Structure 1
Amino acid sequence: MEKLLHWSIANSQGDQQTRERVGQPDPKLLEQLFGTGPDEPTLMKESIVVITNPEADLENKLTAFDNFEMLIENMDNANNIENLKLWNPLLQLLESPETELRTCALSCMGTASQNNVKTQDDFLKYDGGLQKIIKLASDVNEPAEVRTKALYALSNLIRNHPASSEVFCKLHGLEIIPPIIHDAKANNKLKMRAISLLSAFLTSTSINETLMDLLRKEGIVESTIDCLIVSSDVYIADRVLNILAQMVTAKVQFTDGEKQKLQAGMQNIEPEKDRLNEDDLQTVKYVL
């Protein structure tokens, strides 16, 4: 920056000797300062070119992915993924042999679709897109970071989006939740993402006895209550309480077996009650 200042002063004063001594400023710095560089859609395309270039090394690909995700945090840029025809290369990256690239692709899908109906609509046009993500989320052979980002992407793709949630349900997406919750080897972050996925699904459907029958069939209700019994994570317990409170508020009927498990779960989290949402806690206690 100091070099640029000296060059600017010398240039304005016509001081050729000083200009030669200081030298030309960095073109990239001039682009940043005066906005003469590529626009953001171009930068997005350039990032994907690097990411999909078989000659680029992994470090450069990951840097390009960081830049791409930073750009699509802007909703207009996220919506441009469709306009620039970048969904297909992103979906193809879900099959990359590099764990980091699969993780980054999933993260970008989740970031782009967060609270963004147009991007959710756009993604749904791609046959097999949700199915690929569901497969990664459910695959116990995938690293935890891949599965966690897959759950993150799924949650944002279906939240408050009935059409995506319907496809997700038809693809048996709900089936991936109970095994994660019951997996003793799964870390709390992965389990939290699974619970968040259930929460996202509930935003797009009416909670009634028909839904409860479906959730029971998939083992969702039992595994959700089990979280209160087996989990020592207060954040997971708090999220589960919120889901259960929604069910209670919707006036669904819990079975005797569910109530017994719920009673055990409530006793287990009693020592942490001051750290839990009081309204949800009292609402769930109402059914006992």
Structure 2
Amino acid sequence: MEKLLHWSIANAQGDKEAIEKAGQPDPKLLQQLFGGGGPDDPTLMKEAIAVVRNPEAEMESKLIAMDNFEMLIENLDNANNIENLKLWTPLLETLSDPDEELRASVLSVIGTAAQNNLPTQNSFLKQEKGLSRLIKIAGCDSECLNVRCKALYALSNLVRNHPELADEFVKLNGLDIIAPILTDLNVKSKLKTRALSLLTAYLTAVQISEGLVSTLRKDNVLPSAISSLKLEDDIAILDRVLNFLSHLISAGVKFTEQETVELRNNIGRIKIFKDRLNEEDYSTVERAI
């Protein structure tokens, strides 16, 4: 910085000897301080995806490019520009890449871009087989944990408060992926937590009705959620199940006699965790049974 100051003063005075003595400042420093016509965000976004889709690029370079891309699309304007720049197609094509870390990175980008962002949610809805790809990945037993978690994260942010995407999610049998995750004793808690977050996000976009509850029963979502209260000791999972049930109760849903009996037994079992659970959700469920 001191060298830059001497150079600036010498240039202002036109002192050639002083300019020569000060030497040329670091061009990068000049660009940081004053700008320099560097690439704009859309260009940087396109360049990042070009690296990701380059078959000759090293995987480390691709992952760095995806990290940079995600930082850029944390800006809503950049996220909404994904469609204008025609970048949805190469992003979705990268979900077929054999490298699981790269696939996870793409899913993280989708989730981040869609978070509380209606224009990006709308643009993703237009992508042919985009939602179905994410559902397939999230429900695939042979897929690695991190990729499945990121797929559930992306799905949650896509359907949250978006009735059309939520409707499409159901049409594509998206609810079918939740029960198997909740009932599998070998599944990691992180994946179950993500599945329950998706379920809660879905409820924000739909009207809770008897028809919806019938669907939740048919797809084994409601029974598996109730069973989770018997099978789980993980506080995060129990909290999310109680929150899901509380949403239903607050909307006027009545449980069947069998569901009520099971809920009563399961609430009794998790009473030891009461002080660590959300008090309002716990009380709502307890009062309903």
5+ long unaligned stretches in structure 2: none
Instruction: Output aligned runs, 1:23-172, within 5 Å.
Output: 23-36=23-36, 37-172=38-173
CA distance in 2, matches of 1:17, 1:268: 85
The letter of the residue matching 2:199 is L
The letter of the residue matching 2:24 is Q
TM-score (norm 2): 0.94
Q: What is residue 230 of structure 1 aligned with on the other side?
A: 231
Query: Could you report, residue by residue, the CA deviation over 1:117-172 in whole angstroms, capped at 9, with x for unpaired residues?
Result: 11001001011000111111011111100000000000011110000011110000
Alpha-carbon RMSD across the aligned residues, in angstroms, is 1.6
- Check 1:17–1:46 CA distance in 2 against 1; reply closer, same or farther (3 A cut): farther
The size of the alignment, in residue pairs, is: 288
The letter of the residue matching 1:28 is K
Q: What is residue 251 of structure 2 aligned with on the other side?
A: 250
- Check 1:218–1:42 CA distance in 2 against 1; reply closer, same or farther (3 A cut): same
The letter of the residue matching 2:172 is L
5+ long unaligned stretches in structure 1: none
The letter of the residue matching 1:29 is L
CA distance in 2, matches of 1:51, 1:25: 34
- Identity of matched residues, %: 57
Deviation at 1:234, TM superposition (A): 0.9
- Check 1:6–1:99 CA distance in 2 against 1; reply closer, same or farther (3 A cut): farther
The letter of the residue matching 1:133 is L
3-state SS of paired residue (1:286): helix
- Check 1:24–1:113 CA distance in 2 against 1; reply closer, same or farther (3 A cut): same
The letter of the residue matching 1:97 is P
Q: What is residue 272 of structure 2 aligned with on the other side?
A: 271
- Check 1:285–1:27 CA distance in 2 against 1; reply closer, same or farther (3 A cut): same
3-state SS of paired residue (2:288): coil
Deviates more, 1:139-148 or 1:232-241: 232-241
Question: Deviation above 2 Å: which 4+ runs of structure 1?
Answer: 1-33
- Check 1:225–1:2 CA distance in 2 against 1; reply closer, same or farther (3 A cut): farther
Deviation at 1:17, TM superposition (A): 5.0
